[in-house]
């Protein structure tokens, strides 16, 4: 098995208005971890979807161990020993079933179709065996709906290795994980590698690629531009090959004119993790919410935006106390929220770019009897597309066909139409390449210069240091420290993010 090679030769595929892959050749070896990287829209996920059987209208050939494969659907791919764990883990799991049922899903379906009895004890035993291979102690009887993102990912990995898995594709696997969970995943990957499984690792996190991968293939604009051993690259060179140019200063210069407080929060708590949080954000200010995965950043953002029931505390907008009981009330009071899970909560994926861009401010595009003004809708959406550099064949293009970076720009762009005063960003660069990150940083800086109040929640501490003016550090749902960003660094933020306390002596 260790001598098995997977080859994709001359792969091309087109979608309406876009040539997504152009004569791509890609080779991966069993028992090796191969990084597949590129900027958003480079074609890496499309290439892997071809291999996984999600698309059948491609040209070119796929070989495994010199033998040609005919992959027209996911079943063909799985029979060849290719498994994929997508970034959006929720879409691949059934939340109302148990961990065991999800891991052994294929076997469960087969038994149901053949009207055979399911031996539940054996099913749970086999699922537990697969989890043990991953050093996971998740109970096989738990419902998937009760799991964390990291646990759901382990369930998908267990499902993948429960089959004859020869090549495992991991698409942005560390995006939802904490540092400790990432270390655990890397241990699993190294174990699979030792067993002769080939791992194809898609990520925008360059330091992780350097740490875990053996070989690297870099794509740009639907083509392979470079392939080599990872040890032959510096991190800077990897970025240059991805973008086709040197990446200059990552963070824009930010010298704002600070105004009055637009958002003031006193003693905010929810019924889950947020406890007695107080903060304020002034006009023209970018304020960070720093914390590791699970610290309560998302819960705090949702509580501020009215997307949480049973909150306690005081929220003041422009000095006026407001009961933000729902997102509708938040929007009415000049708030905007770009959520972490953009595909699930921030976008209508199967609607057009144009529809998404006007969705937060529909009343501005209605005429008599509530009919949409199509001309105004088209004009405004084209203005935002041009201003943000959204790469789309047309304003009418469905959002689900676009890259992650362009989807994120749309998730932000819809709030530019509403002219909000307070912008809340929750992990806005998650799954976004370095070039698109720079665009997002520029956009946030421009909003601050226009006098908007920005709350920026992120576990990427380098972004907090590079972008914000002040920072509140969150640990276990509580603010442990408020700092001036100019007077701190990543090490100090990490110290307080892990529960560190000020030495009183």
Contact yes or no for 276/269 (Cβ under 8 A) = yes
- Long-range Cβ contacts of 240-243 (<8 Å, 24+ apart): 242/37, 242/38, 242/39, 242/42, 242/218, 242/433, 242/434, 242/435, 243/39, 243/434, 243/435
Give strand pairing partners of 372.
366
Q: In which order are the strands placed within the sheet that holds 320-321?
A: 277-282, 261-269, 312-317, 320-321
Contact yes or no for 221/245 (Cβ under 8 A) = no
Provide the pLDDT for residue 108.
67
Provide the pLDDT for residue 504.
42
Provide the pLDDT for residue 167.
95
Tell me which DSSP letter residue 308 carries. S
Residues 87, 52: Cα–Cα separation, whole Å:
14
CB proximity list for 210: less than 8 A, separation 6 or greater: 230, 233, 235, 238
3-class SS of residue 467: helix
Contact yes or no for 201/212 (Cβ under 8 A) = yes
Residue 85: closest CA among 155, 38, 17, 28 = 155
Give pLDDT < 50 ranges for the chain: 1-2, 504-505
Q: Does domain 263-497 have CATH number 3.50.40.10?
A: no
Tell me which DSSP letter residue 230 carries. G
3-class SS of residue 423: strand
The token pair at 325 is 């009981």
Residue 103: closest CA among 151, 167, 138, 155 = 155
Measured at the CA of 229, the angle between CA 227 and CA 231, to 5 degrees, comes to 135
The token pair at 318 is 């422009």
The token pair at 494 is 């990490």
Provide the pLDDT for residue 115.
58
Contact yes or no for 436/349 (Cβ under 8 A) = no
User: Residues spanned by CATH 3.40.50.300 within the chain?
Assistant: 5-112+119-243, 263-497
Contact yes or no for 17/394 (Cβ under 8 A) = yes
User: 5-112+119-243 is classed in which CATH architecture?
Assistant: 3-Layer(aba) Sandwich (3.40)
Centroid of chain to Cα 361: 25
Residue 300: closest CA among 476, 177, 163, 166 = 476
Alpha carbon separation from 43 to 34, 191, 293, 337 (Å, rounded)? 16, 29, 29, 29
Provide the pLDDT for residue 111.
53
Provide the pLDDT for residue 387.
83
Torsion angle, alpha carbons of 124, 129, 131, 134, to 10: 180
Length of the chain: 505
Provide the pLDDT for residue 17.
67
Contact yes or no for 23/34 (Cβ under 8 A) = no
Q: Is the pTM of this model over 0.75?
A: no
For 107-163, what is each residue's pLDDT tens digit? 766 555 555 677 888 889 999 999 988 888 899 999 999 988 778 888 988 888 888
Provide the pLDDT for residue 505.
39
Residues 223, 38: Cα–Cα separation, whole Å:
10
- How would DSSP label each residue in 324-388? --SHHHHHHTTEEEE-S-IIIII--TTSBHHHHHHGGGGGGGB-GGG-B-HHHHHHHHHHHHHHH
Alpha carbon separation from 89 to 30, 44, 173 (Å, rounded)? 25, 18, 9
SS3 sequence of 436-457: HHHHHHHHHHHHHHCCCEEEEE
Residue 263: closest CA among 125, 27, 456, 2 = 456
């Amino acid at each position: 098995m260790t001598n098995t090679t997977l080859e994709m030769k001359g792969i091309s595929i087109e979608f309406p208005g876009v040539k997504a892959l152009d004569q791509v050749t890609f080779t991966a070896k069993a028992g090796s971890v191969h990084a597949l990287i590129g900027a958003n829209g480079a074609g890496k996920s499309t290439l892997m979807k071809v291999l996984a059987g999600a698309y059948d209208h491609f040209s070119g050939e796929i070989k495994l161990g010199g033998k040609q494969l005919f992959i027209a659907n996911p079943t063909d791919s799985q029979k060849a020993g290719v498994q994929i764990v997508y970034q959006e883990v929720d879409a691949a799991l059934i939340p109302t079933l148990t961990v065991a049922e999800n891991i052994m899903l294929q076997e469960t379906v087969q038994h149901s179709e053949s009207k055979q009895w399911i031996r539940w004890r054996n099913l749970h035993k086999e699922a537990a065996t697969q989890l043990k291979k991953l050093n996971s102690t998740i109970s096989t009887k738990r419902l998937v709906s009760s799991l964390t993102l990291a646990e759901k990912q382990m369930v998908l990995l267990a499902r993948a290795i429960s089959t004859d898995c020869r090549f495992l594709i991991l698409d942005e696997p560390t995006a939802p994980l904490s540092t400790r969970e990432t270390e655990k995943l890397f241990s699993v990957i190294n174990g699979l590698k030792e067993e002769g499984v080939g791992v194809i690792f898609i990520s925008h996190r360059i330091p992780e690629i350097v740490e875990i991968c053996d070989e690297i293939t870099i794509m740009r604009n639907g083509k392979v531009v470079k392939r080599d051993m990872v040890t032959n690259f510096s991190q800077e060179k990897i970025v240059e090959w991805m973008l086709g140019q040197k990446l200059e200063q990552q963070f824009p210069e930010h010298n704002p004119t600070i105004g009055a407080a637009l958002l003031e929060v006193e003693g905010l708590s929810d019924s889950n993790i947020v406890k007695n949080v107080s903060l304020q954000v002034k006009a023209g200010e970018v304020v960070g919410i720093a914390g590791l995965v699970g610290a309560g950043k998302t819960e705090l953002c949702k509580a501020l935006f009215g997307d949480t029931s049973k909150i306690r505390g005081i929220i003041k907008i422009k000095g006026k106390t407001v009961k933000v009981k729902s997102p509708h009330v938040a929007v009415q009071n000049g708030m905007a929220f770009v959520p972490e899970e953009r595909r699930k909560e921030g976008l209508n994926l199967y609607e057009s770019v144009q529809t998404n861009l006007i969705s937060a401010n529909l009343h501005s595009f209605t005429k008599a009897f509530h009919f949409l003004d199509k001309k105004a809708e088209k004009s405004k959406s084209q203005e935002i597309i041009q201003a943000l550099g959204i790469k789309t064949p047309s304003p009418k293009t469905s959002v689900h066909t676009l890259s992650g970076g362009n989807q994120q720009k749309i998730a932000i762009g819809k709030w530019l139409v509403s002219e909000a005063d307070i912008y809340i960003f929750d992990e806005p660069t998650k799954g976004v390449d370095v070039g698109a990150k720079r665009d997002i940083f520029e956009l946030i800086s421009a909003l601050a210069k226009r006098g908007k109040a920005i709350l920026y929640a992120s576990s990427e501490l380098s972004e907090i240091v590079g972008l914000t003016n002040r920072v509140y550090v969150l640990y276990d749902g509580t603010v442990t420290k408020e700092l001036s960003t100019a007077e701190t660094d990543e090490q100090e933020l990490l110290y307080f993010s892990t529960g560190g306390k000020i030495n009183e002596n």
